[in-house]
């Protein structure tokens, strides 16, 4: 997600950090780069202009120039402004507290409406809520069948009627849902190639008859500026309750995600991040900002880890990381946890500073087992203090673990690099970071 954008921000920020003292001149240079980067990512030009102006107003001042770590201060300002742009806080979808709560999904052809309908239905099912999927696309051949197959695959009922006005289908579906105590009704509307009057009118009629709890535009993040223009038109006409960004897993440049809220005023509520029905994420502006700025997504990572990680151990580890007394012994414990958490490369991008460092290194899960063997062959003292490991001990450890001395050297070197990295991460103060959020940034 947003690979190019993240790399560029990483470069800009590294330069800023590297600058010993910040002057108005190097702030200006950095901001010029930020501006160019955002424009290249297809962020709306007006949004970029305001964004830069806001940063300038907060950043160019005496407090920043006199500060001890000015580079980081600027980075934090950029981060804060980006969160603002993305909408501050997640606005959740309407709760399923009626019988039925009604969501309408609309959008252009192929934007991902039907897929999202399935994802939301599955999510509701997980909360023991009964969903009725409503096929309101009577135009595209096989659209009804597609929804039917999807519904069958997740055990969710689909309401369908052929050759009937979509708004009439919706009314019948609502009656049916009320009589049968459905918690949620998701209306999957027809897509069009372009915005056209007929489509808008149809949606207006459905909206007025249904009084939905959510009217969500599904916008394809891969279409960049078009997604923004689309959202603007739909919102003006239909007064949407929210936007769902789809295909955020692809090589979307970020423009749509960054601009939609600012241009339309309509919140992005959820993100669709893959073809699988479980690929659904709540859209959190603060986490998205951290991801875009290459600060990783520690909080998502923590959430992902919570099921597998022993929180007591995690908080002890957090303490060690903060005090920088993290040892190979702790690292070994981390490897055990990480192995339980599953696909490494998907976890890596979420770790601050690590995504970039490890970008080109293929992640070899078997390598972890080898690293474990090496650490197991060390004495407890050596794990606490790798400095004790001299040439002959390296040979013993290599022989004991079935590795070469070079492998041992590499491990020790990487471990020491990692310690430095952790130190840097520690220096940066993440706003609102929950307790227990630091223990995971360690992988070879």
Ligand X SMILES: Nc1nc2c(ncn2[C@@H]2O[C@H](COP(=O)(O)OP(=O)(O)OP(=O)(O)O)[C@@H](O)[C@H]2O)c(=O)[nH]1
Q: Among residues 191 and 439, whose Cβ is nearest to ligand X?
A: 191
Stretch that binds Mg ion, among 111-119, 216-224, 390-398, 405-413 (CB under 5 A): 111-119
Interface residue with ligand X, options 109, 208, 336, 417 (CB under 6 A) = 109
Does position 114 interact with ligand X (CB under 6 A)? The reply is: yes
The site for ligand X, by CB under 6 A, has a size of 21
Are 173 and 159 contacting, i.e. CB atoms less than 8 angstroms apart? yes
Could you tell me if 438 and 318 are in contact, meaning their C-beta atoms sit under 8 angstroms apart?
yes
Rounded Cα–Cα distance for residues 87 and 253 (Å): 19
334 within 8 A of 438, measured Cβ to Cβ? no
Compute CA distances 438 → 77, 198, 441, whole Å: 22, 52, 7
Report the nearest approach of Mg ion to the CB of residue 94 (Å).
22
Query: Which of 123, 313 has the CB closer to ligand X?
Result: 123
Shortest Cβ 359–Mg ion spacing (Å): 36
Residue 121 Cβ vs ligand X, minimum distance, rounded to whole Å? 13
In angstroms, the CA 268 to CA 435 distance is: 27
Region of 201-209, 267-275, 323-331, 380-388 interacting with ligand X (CB under 6 A):
267-275
Which stretch, 112-120, 196-204, 316-324, 403-411, contacts ligand X (CB under 6 A)?
112-120
Find tokens 């090496």 and name the residue.
374
Under the binding rule (CB under 6 A), the answer on residue 110 touching ligand X is yes
Tokens of 64: 């920043």
User: Should residue 264 be labelled a site residue for ligand X when binding is judged by CB under 6 A?
Assistant: no
420 torsion bin: left (phi>0), alpha (psi -120 to 50), beta (else):
alpha
What's the CA gap between 109 and 137, in Å, rounded? 11
Q: Which is nearer to Mg ion, 65 or 238 (CB)?
A: 238
CB 81 within 8 A of CB 38: no
Residue 210, binding choice from ligand X, Mg ion, none, Cβ under 5 to 8 Å by partner class: none
Residue bearing tokens 């599955």: 122
According to the binding rule CB under 5 A, does residue 114 interact with Mg ion?
yes
Question: Is residue 272 part of the contact set for ligand X (CB under 6 A)?
Answer: yes
Instruction: With H, G, I as helix, E, B as strand and everything else as coil, classify residue 309.
Output: coil
Question: Both tokens of residue 38?
Answer: 């955002």
Residue 44 binds ligand X, judged by CB under 6 A: no
- Footprint of ligand X (CB under 6 A): 107, 109-115, 137, 140, 143, 191, 246-247, 249-250, 272-275, 279
- Footprint of Mg ion (CB under 5 A): 113-114
């Amino acid at each position: 997600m947003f690979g190019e954008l993240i790399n560029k921000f990483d470069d800009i920020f590294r330069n800023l950090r590297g600058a010993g003292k910040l002057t108005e001149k190097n702030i200006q240079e950095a901001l010029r780069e930020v501006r160019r980067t955002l424009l290249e990512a297809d962020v709306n030009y007006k949004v970029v202009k305001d964004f830069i102006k806001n940063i300038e107003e907060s950043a160019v001042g005496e407090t920043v120039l006199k500060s001890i770590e000015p580079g980081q201060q600027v980075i934090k300002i950029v981060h804060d402004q980006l969160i603002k742009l993305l909408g501050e806080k997640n606005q959740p979808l309407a709760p399923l507290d009626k019988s039925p709560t009604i969501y309408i999904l609309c959008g252009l052809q192929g934007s991902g409406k039907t897929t999202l309908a399935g994802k939301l239905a599955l999510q509701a099912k997980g909360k023991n809520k009964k969903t009725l999927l409503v096929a309101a696309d009577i135009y595209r051949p096989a659209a009804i069948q597609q929804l039917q197959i999807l519904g069958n695959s997740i055990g969710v009922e689909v309401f369908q009627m052929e050759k009937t006005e979509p708004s009439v289908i919706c009314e019948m579906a609502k009656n049916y849902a009320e009589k049968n105590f459905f918690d949620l009704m998701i209306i999957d509307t027809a897509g069009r190639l372009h915005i056209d009057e007929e489509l808008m009118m149809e949606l207006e009629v459905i909206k007025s008859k249904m009084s939905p709890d959510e009217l969500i535009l599904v916008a394809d993040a891969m279409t960049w500026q078009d997604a923004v223009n689309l959202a603007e038109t739909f919102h003006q006409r239909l007064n949407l309750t929210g936007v769902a960004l789809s295909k955020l897993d692809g090589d979307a440049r970020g423009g749509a995600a960054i601009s939609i809220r600012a241009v339309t005023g309509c919140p992005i509520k959820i993100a669709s991040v893959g073809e699988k029905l479980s690929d659904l994420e709540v859209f959190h502006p603060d986490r998205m900002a951290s991801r875009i700025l290459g600060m990783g997504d520690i909080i998502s990572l923590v959430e992902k880890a919570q099921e597998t990680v022993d929180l007591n151990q995690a908080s002890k580890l957090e303490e060690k990381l903060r005090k920088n007394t993290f040892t190979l012994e702790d690292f070994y414990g981390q490897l055990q946890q990480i192995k339980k958490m599953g696909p490494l490369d998907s976890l890596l991008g979420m770790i601050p500073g690590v995504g970039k460092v490890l970008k080109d290194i293929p992640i070899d899960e078997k390598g972890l087992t080898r690293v474990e063997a090496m650490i197991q062959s060390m004495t407890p003292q050596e794990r606490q203090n790798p400095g004790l490991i001299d040439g002959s001990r390296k040979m013993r450890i290599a022989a004991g673990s079935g590795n070469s001395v070079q492998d041992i050297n590499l491990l020790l070197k990487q471990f020491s690099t990692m310690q430095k990295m952790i130190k840097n991460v520690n220096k940066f103060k993440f706003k609102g970071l929950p307790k227990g959020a630091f223990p995971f940034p360690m992988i070879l």
